[in-house]
Every structure is written in C-alpha cells, then in structure tokens.
Structure 1
Amino acid sequence: MSQGKTTTDHKAIRSWAEARGGRPARVKGTGKGDDPGILRIDFGEPDESLEEISWEEFFEKFEDNELALLFQDEGESRFNKLVHRKQS
C-alpha cells in the first residue's frame, strides 16, 4: 500500500471524492441547528447511517474544525480519513 497524502484543498478533495463516486455526508443524529455534526464522504450506495449534505456545508464545517483529508490517491482506492490539521 502506498503512503497516504494529506490535503486541505477543497477542489482537490471534491475531485478525488467525486472521481470515486463520493458525496459529502454527515452522520445522522449528530450536530444541531447549523452544525452538520460528524462529517464523512459516502461512496456507492447511500449508507443508511449517513445523510447527504452539500459540498458548501461540508467545507464550512471542514474549515471551522481545521480538518484535513488523509487519503490514498492510488488507483480507485477510497481510503480516507478526516484528521485535525495539526495531526497531518
């Protein structure tokens, strides 16, 4: 397995996710009001525990929480993890 890459670039994240059939999502039952809660990228058939959100909402929370995407850009790998920027 190749090394993971880390990015905060919104265009790169969206492009990587969409190339693999990914959509921005949040974990159902998390967050309140304007806070979408725990973020995820949902791939393939929609996961019943996730609720799709807009890329705008996803990236707003992404920035508010100083997140970065750790991902594998090899082939069609869907490996990804949202991490705090200070950990990346």
Structure 2
Amino acid sequence: MVAPMKAPLPVQTRGPLPARTDELPFPLDLRRDQTGALHAQLARQIREAVLSGLLPGGTPLPGTRTLARTLGVTRGVVEAAYAELL
C-alpha cells in the first residue's frame, strides 16, 4: 500500500513570534475559573486572532515549551490547542 501524498509545507518567510505574551500581536488570556478547557480557550483565541487579521495566516507560533512556560500551563495544553487548530 502506498502512502497518500501530502502537500509540502509552506516556506516560512517570517520568524517565530516572540516568546513573551506581552510581545505577541494579540492578547492571550487563559482563565482557569471558566468552564472551558484551557487548550480550547487557547485555540479559540489564536483562531480569533487569525480571523480578525491580528495574526496573519501562516505566521509561525512560538514553540510549545516556550508558550507553555510563558502562559504558566503544561506543554500538553499548548500541544492540544495547536492540534485542534490543525
């Protein structure tokens, strides 16, 4: 059986976003007291930033470890948010 062909990843023309959330082009505000899971909150906020034009499509996001450390959450939260966005 032959594996299906995958489209090549787009060439990144910009560098990654800064690691500090106060330097991101959009605010991130995760609240543990809300009913939504943290990863869902993060995915929703990133999606809204893309749709509103604050974060141009194709812009690389910070690495999972960097963003998790910055936000004070586990890496799994960021990984789950990124996976949801894919």
- TM-score, normalised with respect to structure 2: 0.29
Q: TM-score, normalised by structure 1?
A: 0.28
Task: Give 1 or 2 for the bigger CA radius of gyration.
Answer: 2
